[in-house]
Structure 1
Amino acid sequence: MFKRRKPRSIIEKWQQFFWPREGWMRAIKYTWQRAIRLDGSAHSIAMGLAVGAFVSATPFIGTHLLWAALVAWVLGGNIIASAIGTWVGNPLSFPFIWIMTFNVGHFILGTWDQTTDLPALSFGLFLDAPLSTLWPVIFPMLVGGIPVGIAMGVATYYPSLWAVRFYQKKRRAKLARVQQQEPDKSPKGEETSS
């Protein structure tokens, strides 16, 4: 019923993933509207979005949705909102997040002066010794991801809380107006109690 008449090719799907046809602002606006319209308390929705943003700062790519759902469940956040919140980490923002977490991690660890030779990290070396190859990169990103993730979570929580409260208040007022305007809907022949 909702299928495309002409299915998109793999190249078109990847192109849409990295650069939506209608633009990033429309995609961001649509995602934001979907998030604030979720069922639940304003706190749980905002907490879910914040948890998703926090998890996006971790180097566990491919498992962000799982981690976000788990942390949101533990903290009482909305699990669907946490999945939407992981959208903070996207193809455009990941390079900036990774550089920031890597540098903050080295600063916290006190290894700022030691450099990791990133070009020396090859795929063949990764296959031979995956943990020893990636650990010098992953560990600083993990350590740096915690404060960066907390900052991203806080920066997401409060605006989201305000927006969800505003939307829910506006929706309740609209529903109250509609209820007041509707005539009595009791079945014919029955008298309403006064």
Structure 2
Amino acid sequence: MKKIFLNLIQRIRKFIAWLWNQEGSPSQRALGLAVGIFSGCFPFFGLQTLMGVFLAKIFKGNSILAVVGTWISNPFTYVPLYYLNYRLGSLILNNDKNIVDFSHITTNELWLQGWYLSSRLIIGSICMGLLSGMVGGLSLYFLLKKLSNKI
């Protein structure tokens, strides 16, 4: 068991070293991570990685770090992340409307309710993605700059 654990630790260290030595300037690597985090904040399961790589190509960031940044959204963080995004979107779009009782709902009300929920989730995801992407990207940028000056 100890050998398996040590092997796992060694693999994790190699993976982190590989990530750390990615191509590009500190700004390109930080930009890649930032757009990945931004993309990971959206509830587009399966498309977050594609969105992150696409944005990294457009903004000339590191594509590998964009993929890693999308891992902010994973099975352990789905519920808290999207709940927080929804609450933020509700705060921005004014939370004056209550959710209807689904036992007495018409088809038209169901469509309106879907728009009500999804618009708040998307607006919240945009704002949370911008904020967390900037924080993550700037943190990596300053870390890379600080460590490159020491070498």
Superposed pair shares fold, TM > 0.5 = yes
Within-5 A mapping of 1:1-194: 32-110=16-94, 112-116=95-99, 120=102, 132=111, 134-169=114-149, 173=151
CA distance in 1, matches of 2:136, 2:12: 14
Once the two structures are overlaid, the 10-residue window that deviates more, 135-144 or 158-167, is 158-167
Separation in 2 of the partners of 1:92 and 1:30?
24
> What is the root-mean-square deviation in Å for CA atoms of aligned residues?
3.1
Deviation at 1:137? 2.4
Indicate conservation of the 8 Å contact 1:36/1:163, yes or no: no
Q: 1:32 to 1:135 in 2, by over 3 A?
A: farther
Once the two structures are TM-superposed, the CA of residue 116 in structure 1 deviates from its matched residue by: 3.2
Scaled by the length of structure 2, the TM-score of the pair is 0.75
Report the identity percentage: 25
Q: Rate the CA distance shift 1:31–1:72 in 2: closer, same or farther, 3 A.
A: same
Give the partner amino acid of 2:37. A
Greater share of residues in helix: 2
Q: Is the 8 A contact 1:37 1:164 kept in 2?
A: no
The whole-number CA distance in structure 1 between the counterparts of 2:85 and 2:124 is: 4
* Counterpart AA for 2:89: G
What is the identity, as a one-letter code, of the residue corresponding to 1:114? K
Aligned counterparts of 1:29 and 1:143: Cα–Cα separation in 2? 37
Q: Which amino acid aligns with 2:134?
A: V
Consecutive unaligned residues of structure 1, counting only runs of 5 or more, are 1-20, 121-127, 174-194
**Aligned equivalents of 1:160 and 1:29: distance in 2?**
18
Deviation at 1:40, TM superposition (A): 1.1
Q: Which amino acid aligns with 1:116?
A: I
Report the structure number with the largest CA radius of gyration.
1
